[in-house]
Structures are given as C-alpha cells and as structure tokens.
Amino acid sequence: MTDDELLIEDRGAIRIITMNRPADRNAASTALLFRLTELMQDLGQDESVSAVILTGAGRAFSAGGDFKHFVATATDPQVARQTIDNGRAFVSAMLDVPVPVIAAVNGAAVGFGATLLALSDIVIMADTAFISEPHANVGLVIGDGISVTWPFLMSMHKAKELAFTGDRIYAAEAVGCGLANKAVPLDALMDEALAMAGKIVAQPRSALTGSKQLFNMQSQALMETVLRRQMDLQFDQTQGPDHGRIVQSLIDAQKRNQT
C-alpha cells in the first residue's frame, strides 16, 4: 500500500478518512485492510478527536476486497487466516473507537464497503449510492461486521434477503429499512457529513464516548459467539470447493480478457 491510498485530514476535532484508490473503486488490498485496523486503533487512543468521517475517493465508497486479495485468501491458507484474524481486530477497533464514526457514502458500498457502513455510527448516502453484501455469491458466509450488526439495524427478514441474494439496496430504501440515516444529492454529501460532525463535536466528549459504548455493547456481546463462528465458517469456506470453483472461474475470465 502506498501512503496516498488512505488519506487522513485533520479538521480540529474531526478526522476525515478517505479511501483513495479511485481507479479500483476503492477496493481494499490486503495492506489497506490491515492499515485501516491500525488507524482505527490509533483513533481510539486520540483524545483530540470527537468525530470521524469515512468516505471514498471517486465514484465508489468501496467495492470490497481487490482481486489480488480475493485470490490470495482462496489459494493461501496463511493469508486467509491472517485476514480473518485482522477482520476480528478491525471489528473490535471500529466498535471501540470512542467517538462517532460517520460514513459519507459517495457510491457503491459492496462487501467490505457494506461492513464499513454496518460498523459506522451514522450513515449518510448519496442518493445514487447503493449497498450490497455479495459474500454468498462467491460461496462465503456473511461478512464479519455484518454478522454482529445487521440484526440490530433492520428486520431479520430483510437482513436475510439481502445476505442470501447479494442484491443491491439503494439509498432511499436503505434509509427506509434502517441501514442509513439519510440520502442526499451527491454534491451535498460532504457538506451534510461535516454539518453532522459539527453538531457532534459540539457535545461533551464524555457523553459521546459513554453513549457509544452503551449502544455497542449488544454487538460486542456477540464477539465470542456469532463472530467467532462466522470466522470459523469463513476460513473453512475460503479453502472449500464452492469458493475455490468461483475464484478459479474469475481467474480464468481475467486471463481471457488479458489475451
């Protein structure tokens, strides 16, 4: 990962984090996944921060894991295990960040992108943006952060529908079912996120941190049950025949496209 793939802007008590791989629709490389975990852990120790805005450069918020990472986890058990262990650390870090995290969703939030939204505290979407959780489409169980948040965010029936099909849910419907707070025109997205952050940082930080801790206790209580089982299943499936067959078909398709 190069330093400019993850931009951090300091605006007083607000930190703006931008995933900056626009040519790849901000798909996360293995290095970027690990760096995001480190960053969230660092933010948890920074008492000068009262709000965080998370967004993506270009047309997408995040299209999930990039192709090289996708192939590596399917073909190298060590990479798969390291990625899953990092996933646990990332979920924990996001839930433990003591101040509100606002997701400013400028475009597609797919897979890992959907997990980022699920672990954020407030979600503001461009009205053209969508969310998709396509793990089932590639032979895997639902993502780590999804497993410990979606049942609290919307009805279980809707969560299962989206997870079982991988269908897209656009901004207006995401607001209606509880996956997002509001939908705004794309050109107003960052202004809206900054306005929300401004309201938040005007509050006593101790009230923010205590309230977030209380809200997140439900998700944190599932770390040793639901999340542990999710990770065991996901590791087995990354090395299993269904996922392997799908990955190989994608590798073959890419080779054909390159010839």
For residue 3, the model assigns a pLDDT of 64
Polymer length in residues for the chain: 259
Q: Residues 154-162: contacts with CB within 8 Å, 24+ apart? A: 154/178, 154/179, 162/131, 162/132, 162/133
Task: List beta partners, residue 102.
Answer: 53, 122
Cα gap 112→118, rounded to integer Å: 10
Angle at 56 between CA 53 and CA 62, to 5 degrees: 115
| Residue 38: count of CB within 10 angstroms of its CB | 13
What would the pLDDT profile of 20-63 be if each residue is shown by its tens digit?
999 999 999 999 999 999 999 999 899 999 999 999 999 999 99
Alpha-carbon distances of 204 from 3, 13, 49, 210, rounded to whole Å? 33, 12, 12, 10
Q: Is 111 left (phi over 0), alpha (psi -120 to 50) or beta?
A: left
Domains annotated for the chain, with CATH where assigned, are 3-187+199-258 (3.90.226.10)
pLDDT tens-digit series, residues 63-95: 998 888 888 898 999 999 999 999 999 999 999
Q: What is the pTM of this model?
A: 0.95
Asked if residue 90 lies in contact with residue 40, where contact means CB atoms within 8 angstroms, the answer is yes
